[in-house]
A and B are shown apart, each in its own frame.
Chain A
């Protein structure tokens, strides 16, 4: 598994440090532990814990088996009852009997089976259970893109190895960084060209929402009428890190 980026490692370190207890707490807690050990309090804590971990008696499987057996028994009884009555009916009704004998091929094995199982069909043939959830979780979908990207046919997603995913992300970041640098220099056309490059290479890339925000920003720089799109983007992504910049560049009120 690939290693985390330095920024990610630093962020995790800061987070861990925030969660750590202080030396004062550690000393105080240890003193309390020592004082509690062997006391009635400790016994109470441990017995509570043991009660939590004690396995509960497995009653439900037996109840379920008993219920299923009862239903099957009733179902079989019902089927046999119907079967015997049906037989007696056909025996006593010569017209029905002749039909049965004259066209034996019509009573296909399937139809006979369904007749026999009529009383117990719900037990013998339960509804197929929905397929279990796949063990591998789906990668989170990128945010929806508002502009023409959404309307374009999307290429089929290929399963990618973690390494290719990491290198793709690095490539995406590099492109977006270059686009930002171009925007910073005031070169909106260049930024848009780079962003178009990003769109072609990573139509559903991990940084697609970022690309879209930068596209809108570049177009607003050019004076194009993209304020409505920018407004829609802000409605969909009110907490986007680009929100303030976009409002400013596209001259939108907060």
Chain B
């Protein structure tokens, strides 16, 4: 896994700013806001709270960007910041949950775009449910690898850099989690085909 995975991550680009001209905060936000938001959500933050976490992450990025040397991948750096901010957020979660109980769901933050084809929408919802159920059963270590490698398409060296885990261990975990995921997907395919035959 020497480069970025293609397919699901076709739009992944790594910004490696040269030391003299770091990118502007706006360009980093534009490029990586979804990455930070998704990672925040996958680290267990609710949609309402995720907005606050993303805000804090980019405020910190704005303050640190000038000193960012660009030695590693920008996403690794962003992941490190996001993970710490989420960890800090979780410590005050009880307080936040009390506040959350008073907040009603804001459709603007949670409702996805309406799907034009209802059948397609159902299929996509089922597929997303499958991944969610799969992620729930992973250990925290493998969940992190699944998130960074398969969902976000980070290359193994960037994951090693972001997590501080040995590169060979990262490769082994990626292989293991990919195999397990393919197995779940294959099983679902078989079951769906079986349902079609038995109709």
Q: State the A residues within 8 Å of B (CB).
A: 1, 3-5, 7-22, 24-26, 28-30, 32-33, 36-37, 41-42, 45-46, 48-49, 52-53, 135-137, 139-140, 162, 165-166, 169, 173, 176-177, 180-181, 183-184, 206-207, 210, 241-242, 245
Contacts and interface: CB of A to CB of B under 8 A. Distances in A.
Which 3 residue pairs of A and B lie closest in terms of their CB atoms, listed nearest first? A184-B197, A15-B131, A11-B127
Given A13-B8, A180-B190, 14 more contacts: A9-B8, A10-B127, A14-B128, A16-B151, A21-B33, A21-B54, A25-B109, A33-B58, A42-B62, A46-B63, A46-B64, A52-B84, A162-B175, A169-B183
Contacts of A28: 51
A9 B55 CA distance: 30
Nearest to B150: A12
Interface in B45-63: 47, 50-51, 54-56, 58-60, 62-63
A49 B131 CA distance: 32
Interface stretch (B15-23, B34-42, B71-79, B93-101): B34-42
Given A48-B88, A245-B194, A14 B51 contact: no
What's the dominant secondary structure at chain B's contact region?
Answer: helix
A29 B54 contact: yes
B188 to A, nearest CB: 7
B179 interface: yes
A41 B180 CA distance: 44
Contacts, number: 181
Contacts of B33: 21, 26, 29-30
Given A139-B179, A241-B187, A46 B172 contact: no
B13 interface: no
Contacts of B172: 135-137
Contacts of B104: none
B182 A4 contact: yes
Nearest to A6: B7
A165 to B, nearest CB: 6
A14 B38 contact: no
Given A45-B56, A45-B60, A135 B128 contact: no
Given A24-B108, A52-B88, A46 B60 contact: yes
B194 A180 contact: yes
Given A4-B150, A28-B51, A22 B109 contact: yes
Interface of B: 1, 5-8, 25-26, 29, 33-34, 37-38, 41-42, 47, 50-51, 54-56, 58-60, 62-64, 81, 84-85, 87-88, 108-109, 111-113, 124-125, 127-128, 130-132, 150-151, 166, 168-169, 171-176, 178-183, 185-191, 193-194, 197-198
23 contacts: A1-B171, A3-B7, A5-B185, A11-B128, A12-B131, A13-B8, A15-B128, A18-B132, A21-B109, A22-B108, A22-B112, A26-B33, A37-B62, A49-B81, A52-B84, A137-B169, A169-B179, A173-B190, A176-B190, A181-B197, A207-B186, A242-B194, A245-B198
A184 B166 CA distance: 49
Contacts of A15: 127-128, 131-132, 151
A11 B131 contact: yes
A176 to B, nearest CB: 6
Contacts of A25: 37, 51, 108-109
A207 B56 CA distance: 45
Contacts of A245: 194, 198
Contacts of B25: 33, 37
A135 B172 CA distance: 8
A18 B112 contact: yes
A33 B44 CA distance: 22
Given A29-B33, A45-B60, A14 B55 contact: no
A53 B84 contact: yes
Contacts of A140: 176, 180
Given A12-B131, A21-B50, A245-B194, A4 B7 contact: yes
Contact of B42 (A10, A19, A42, A207): A19
